[in-house]
Chains A and B, each alone.
Chain A
Amino acid sequence: MLYAGRIFAFGMLIALALIMIGCMEMAKKKLPTFRKLAGLDALPEMVGRAAEMNRPVHFTTGLGELTGTVAPQLVAGLAVLGYLTELAAKYGVKIVYSVYQPQVMPIATELMREAYIRAGKAEAFDQEDQIRFLSSEQFAYAAAVQGYAERERPAANVMIGPFYAESQLFAETFFRVGSIQLAGTARGYQIPFFAVVCDYLLIAEEIYAAGAYLSKDPVQGGSIQGQDIGKIIAWVMMFVGVLLTAAGSPALMDLLKM
Chain B
Amino acid sequence: MSLFVRRQLPIAIVSITAILVMADYFFRIAATGPIVRDLQNWGIILSAFALGFGAVNLFIVHTRHISKQTSNQWPYSIWLLFMVALFAGVGVFIGPTSTQYMWIYNASYFALSATLYSSTGFYIASGCYRALRARNVQSVILLVVGGIALLRNAPMLAAGYPILIDIDGWVNSVPTTSAQRGIMIGAALGAIALGVRTMIGRETGFLGRRTEAER
Contacts and interface: CB of A to CB of B under 8 A. Distances in A.
Interface of A: 1-3, 6, 9-10, 13, 16-17, 20-21, 24, 66-67, 72, 75-76, 78-80, 82-83, 86, 99, 101-107, 110-111, 114-115, 118, 128-129, 131-133, 136-140, 142-143, 147, 151, 165, 168-169, 171-172, 186, 188, 191, 193, 195-197, 203-212, 214-215, 217, 219-220, 223-224, 226-227, 230-231, 234
Interface stretch (B54-62, B150-158, B160-168): B54-62
B202 interface: yes
B131 A196 contact: yes
A196 B183 contact: no
Contact of A140 (B72, B109, B215): B109
Contacts of B28: 1-3
The 5 closest A-B pairs by CB, nearest first: A79-B205, A102-B54, A208-B190, A205-B190, A133-B54
Given A79-B206, A118-B209, A196-B131, A188 B184 contact: yes
Nearest to B131: A196
24 contacts: A2-B26, A20-B197, A67-B40, A67-B43, A79-B205, A103-B50, A106-B53, A110-B207, A131-B57, A133-B53, A133-B57, A138-B113, A168-B123, A169-B116, A188-B180, A191-B183, A196-B127, A204-B184, A204-B187, A206-B190, A208-B187, A209-B190, A220-B203, A223-B196
Contact of B127 (A21, A143, A172): A172
A17 B209 contact: no
Interface of B is mostly: helix
Contact of B183 (A66, A151, A169, A204): A204
Interface string B177-215: 000100111110111111111101011011111110001
B206 A234 contact: no
B114 to A, nearest CB: 8
A207 B128 CA distance: 25
A223 B54 CA distance: 35
A132 B57 contact: yes
A114 B208 contact: yes
Given A102-B53, A220-B202, A172 B187 contact: no
Contacts of B27: 1-3
Interface residues of B, number: 63
A222 B215 CA distance: 14
Given A107-B206, A128-B60, A168-B120, A231 B113 contact: no
A137 B128 CA distance: 27
B1 to A, nearest CB: 10
B64 interface: yes
A224 B186 CA distance: 11
B46 interface: yes
A137 B109 contact: yes
Nearest to A77: B205
A103 B120 CA distance: 28
Interface in B108-140: 109, 112-113, 116-117, 119-120, 123-124, 126-128, 130-131
B50 A105 contact: yes
Given A102-B50, A104-B50, 7 more contacts: A16-B192, A20-B197, A76-B205, A101-B50, A142-B116, A151-B72, A211-B205
Given A105-B53, A217-B210, A3 B194 contact: no
Nearest to B184: A188
B192 A168 contact: no
Interface in B56-96: 57-58, 60-61, 64, 72-73, 76
B61 A129 contact: yes
A110 B6 CA distance: 10
Nearest to B14: A75
Contacts of B131: 195-196
A66 B112 CA distance: 27
